[in-house]
């Protein structure tokens, strides 16, 4: 071993400045700067600490739930004895509800496949990025297209007796019409908020609404033979 | 007392062995804090600084972090459950009964794994919708959105493969319903189902396949994708801060 050093090398820095930006302003461009530098914090400890607290709160909640409620366990698997109804895990019950109306190739393959494709391509279409209110421009033509699509889709759902999917569609369509009827001078409040929403918002909200409704119906309102039951009567 | 503890902690951190592992050393300065993140292979996935605005609760509801939290709980409880589990018929079901009546805290372990799994599926969906409604999927973050969608599918597959493992009536018929849907795929449907189940019906082979998928293949894929997902947050300019307040003022 070498002799212990009689000094300690310290590197210490607390630089608060962020690097300066240099902007080259060409002719006919306004030199006005919109974006200001905003306040930043150190990831360690600030972000990690908050994340840890959030995860700990969640862990406590899950531990309490686990102490209070037991996970379901039924009898040994028996291929000879089919329970009625045989249900998939809850997050697939929306799909199982659709299987009740459509052939498996539509409800089990086509619809989930299209949903996944649609989710993946969302950020690659400008229509999803511009975020301009749907009815702010070209309103008459858009209303005509919107009306045609909704009517055709509702007829399609009615032909297959999918009333459970028809109701959320009509509710979302009603809100879209309310947004379309909002006078342009109203920009505040609930109606102003509705009017500012782009097409992607409406489609996603419709999807979320359908997802929740179909899953809830598959979970709580379906009994033997996939017949309609009221959960509070069983 | 607190002072003594602080000094003790500093002594540990200045120790040669500690310094050989963690190079950032002691200190409260921003440089040290930056080095703590930057010089750690795991923490290095994250940026050194974050916009203060993105840490507010309303920005993210911490849904991504919470989803990761459930994943951590699931990995830990899952490994412990593996110690008591045989992926064979009908031993798998007997192991459930053992967890219930023989293993110390076995019921709690299984409960925590099961409820956390449900929570993770729910949180992943919630995270996706929150990201969408904030507009955080927009460029330059579009590819991270795609990874997120793949992670959603991973979560569903993990949950679905785990659903079979208790080998009770619930598990057996839920997976039978699901695998029948797979056979509806045109042309390759029946073949896909055969590959998935290792046979023409849900049986011991299917249990083994689902076990391997659930405990090895899918978690490994998920860990890799989660790492990329986190790293892409840094590479895409941090958590989406929302519309710039300065721009809002200008209007």
Mean pLDDT of B14-40: 85
**Chain A residue whose CA is closest to B134:** A201
How many contacts (CB atoms, under 8 Å) link A and B? 213
The reported pTM is: 0.89
CA B63 to chain centre: 12
Predicted ipTM of the assembly: 0.92
Residue A17 distance to chain B (closest CA, Å): 11
Comparing B14 with A30, the larger pLDDT belongs to: B14
**Euclidean distance between CA atoms B214 and B203, whole angstroms:** 16
Comparing A136 with B204, the larger pLDDT belongs to: B204
**SS3 breakdown of chain A: % helix, strand, coil, rounded to 5?**
60, 5, 40
pLDDT classification of B202: cutoffs 50, 70, 90: very high
Q: What is the pLDDT of residues B98-142, one digit of tens each?
A: 999 999 999 999 999 999 999 999 999 999 999 999 999 998 999
Residue A9 pLDDT: 63
Do residues B219 and B158 lie in contact, with contact meaning Cβ atoms separated by under 8 Å? Answer: yes
The two tokens of residue A81 are 């004895």
Question: For testing the chain A interface, which of B48, B149, B245 should be mutated: the one with the most A CBs within 10 Å?
Answer: B149
**SS3 breakdown of chain B: % helix, strand, coil, rounded to 5?**
75, 0, 25
Q: Does residue B158 surpass a pLDDT of 50?
A: yes
- Contact across the interface for A96 and B145, Cβ inside 8 Å: no
**SS3 state of residue B88:** coil
**Euclidean distance between CA atoms B165 and B168, whole angstroms:** 8
Is the CB of A29 inside 8 Å of chain B's CB atoms?
no
Question: For testing the chain A interface, which of B13, B115, B176, B248 should be mutated: the one with the most A CBs within 10 Å?
Answer: B115
pLDDT classification of B195: cutoffs 50, 70, 90: very high
Residue A33 pLDDT: 62
Residue A4 pLDDT: 62
Which of B139, B131, B133, B80 is closest to B110 using CA atoms?
B80
Residue B112 pLDDT: 97
Residue B84 pLDDT: 96
Helix axes of A139-159 and A163-181: crossing angle, nearest 10 degrees: 170
Do residues A15 and B30 lie in contact, with contact meaning Cβ atoms separated by under 8 Å? Answer: yes
The two tokens of residue A189 are 């409040």
Residue B243 pLDDT: 73
Residue A3 pLDDT: 60
**Euclidean distance between CA atoms B151 and B145, whole angstroms:** 10
Terminal C-alpha separation, chain B:
55
- What is the helix (H) or strand (E) element at residue A49, kind and residue range? helix A48-68
- Contact across the interface for A39 and B51, Cβ inside 8 Å: yes
Residue B251 pLDDT: 31
pLDDT classification of B25: cutoffs 50, 70, 90: confident
B123 CB neighbour count, 10 Å cutoff: 25
Q: What backbone phi and psi angles, to 5 degrees, belong to A115? A: -60, -45
Q: How far is CA A42 from CA A50, A103, B195, in A?
A: 12, 54, 49
pLDDT classification of B183: cutoffs 50, 70, 90: confident
The two tokens of residue A110 are 């086509």
Which of A165, A135, A141, A171 is closest to A153 using CA atoms?
A165
**Euclidean distance between CA atoms B224 and A199, whole angstroms:** 34
Per-residue pLDDT of chain A (234 residues; tens, 9 = 90+): 556 666 666 666 666 666 666 777 777 766 666 666 778 999 988 999 999 999 999 999 999 999 999 999 999 999 999 998 888 899 999 999 999 999 988 988 899 999 999 999 999 988 778 778 888 888 899 999 999 999 999 999 999 999 999 999 999 999 999 999 888 888 888 888 998 899 999 999 999 999 999 999 999 999 998 999 998 886
Which of A11, A49, A40 is closest to B29 using CA atoms?
A11
Domains in chain B, CATH or no CATH each: 2-36 (no CATH), 58-240 (1.20.810.10)
Q: Residues with Cβ < 8 Å from B178, sequence gap 6 or more? A: A88, A89, A92, B160
In sequence order, the β-bridge partners of residue A76 are B168
Structure letter (DSSP) for residue A76: B
Residue A71 pLDDT: 94
**Euclidean distance between CA atoms A71 and B111, whole angstroms:** 5
Question: For testing the chain B interface, which of A57, A89, A100, A112 should be mutated: the one with the most B CBs within 10 Å?
Answer: A89
């Amino acid at each position: 071993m070498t002799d212990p050093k009689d000094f300690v090398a310290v590197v210490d820095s607390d630089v608060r400045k962020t690097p300066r930006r240099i902007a080259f302003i060409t002719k006919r461009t306004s030199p006005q700067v919109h974006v200001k530098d905003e306040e930043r914090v150190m990831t360690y400890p600030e972000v990690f600490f908050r994340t840890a607290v959030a995860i700990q709160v969640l862990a406590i909640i899950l531990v309490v739930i686990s102490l209070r409620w037991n996970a379901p366990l039924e009898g040994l698997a028996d291929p000879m004895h089919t329970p009625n109804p045989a249900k998939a895990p809850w997050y697939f019950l929306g799909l199982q509800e659709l299987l009740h109306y459509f052939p498996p190739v539509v409800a089990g393959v086509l619809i989930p496949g299209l949903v996944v494709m649609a989710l993946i391509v969302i950020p690659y279409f400008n229509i999803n990025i511009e975020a301009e209110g749907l009815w702010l421009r070209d309103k008459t033509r858009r209303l005509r297209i919107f009306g045609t699509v909704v009517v055709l889709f509702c007829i399609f759902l009615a032909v297959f007796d999918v009333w459970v999917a028809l109701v959320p569609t009509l509710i979302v369509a009603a809100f879209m019409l309310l947004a379309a009827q909002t006078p342009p001078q109203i920009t505040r409040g609930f109606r102003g908020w509705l009017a500012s929403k782009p097409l992607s918002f409406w489609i996603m909200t419709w999807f979320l609404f359908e997802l929740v409704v179909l899953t809830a119906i598959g979970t709580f309102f379906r009994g033997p033979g996939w017949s309609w039951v009221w959960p509070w009567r069983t | 007392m607190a002072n003594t503890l602080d000094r003790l902690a500093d002594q540990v951190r200045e120790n040669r062995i500690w310094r050989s592992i963690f190079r950032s050393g002691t200190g409260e300065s921003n440089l040290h804090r930056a080095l703590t993140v930057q010089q750690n292979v795991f923490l290095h996935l994250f940026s050194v600084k974050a916009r203060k605005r993105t840490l507010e609760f309303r920005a993210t509801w911490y849904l991504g972090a919470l989803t990761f939290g459930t994943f951590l709980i699931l990995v830990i409880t899952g490994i412990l459950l593996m110690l008591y589990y045989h992926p064979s018929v009908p031993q798998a079901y007997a192991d459930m009964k053992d967890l219930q009546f023989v293993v110390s805290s076995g019921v709690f372990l299984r409960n925590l794994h099961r409820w956390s799994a449900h929570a993770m599926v729910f949180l992943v969906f919630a995270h996706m919708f929150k990201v969408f409604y904030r507009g955080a999927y927009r460029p330059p973050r579009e590819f991270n959105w795609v990874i997120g969608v793949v992670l959603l599918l991973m979560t569903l597959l993990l949950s679905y493969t785990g659903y079979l493992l208790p080998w009770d009536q619930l598990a057996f018929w839920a997976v039978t319903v699901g695998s029948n849907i797979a056979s509806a795929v045109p042309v390759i449907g029946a073949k896909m189902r055969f590959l998935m189940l290792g046979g023409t019906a849900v049986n011991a082979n299917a249990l083994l396949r689902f076990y391997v998928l659930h405990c090895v293949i899918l978690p490994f894929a998920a860990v890799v994708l989660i790492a990329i997902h986190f790293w892409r947050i840094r590479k895409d300019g941090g958590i989406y801060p929302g519309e710039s307040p300065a721009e809002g003022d200008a209007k």
